[in-house]
Amino acid sequence: GENVEQHPSTLSVQEGDSAVIKCTYSDSASNYFPWYKQELGKRPQLIIDIRSNVGEKKDQRIAVTLNKTAKHFSLHITETQPEDSAVYFCAADAGGTSYGKLTFGQGTILTVHP
């Protein structure tokens, strides 16, 4: 089955700095990679996603890059703000008959200091 590794486990930055979180996956059949932000006790909130036929996607301060050959993808947050502080999870979906079955990374606790 799919295995997703996420690093770092914790990330502390100053307000205004950039934050980068990296994930690798093992199943070359995976073709959809969402990123979620989760606040304590709440449901995961989709912040950006990318499909395997795209190398990069950007939405305002958030961007995701995907390297299919190397099987890794990264989340980039620029101009970080204190409200960006949360736990971030990457995930991979193998699609096909496994559509919707997400394998999550271990999570990254992002702290943005004012």
96 phi and psi angles, rounded to 5 deg: 60, -130
Question: Which two tokens mark 57?
Answer: 């996607």
Contact pattern from residue 54 through residue 93 relative to another protein, giving x for each residue in contact according to CB under 8 A and a dash for the rest: -----------------------------------x---x
What does R_g of the chain's alpha carbons equal in angstroms? 14
Residue ranges in 8-37 that form contacts with another protein under rule CB under 8 A: 32, 34
Interface residue with another protein among 25, 103, 110, 112 (CB under 8 A) is 103
Cβ burial of 93 (10 Å; 0-12, 13-18, 19+) is buried
Question: Which two tokens mark 37?
Answer: 């932000």
Interface residue with another protein among 51, 58, 61, 113 (CB under 8 A) is 51
Q: How far is the CB of 106 from another protein (least distance, A)?
A: 5
Nearer to another protein, 15 or 54 (CB): 54
Nearer to another protein, 65 or 104 (CB): 104
Strands 56-59 and 4-7: unpaired
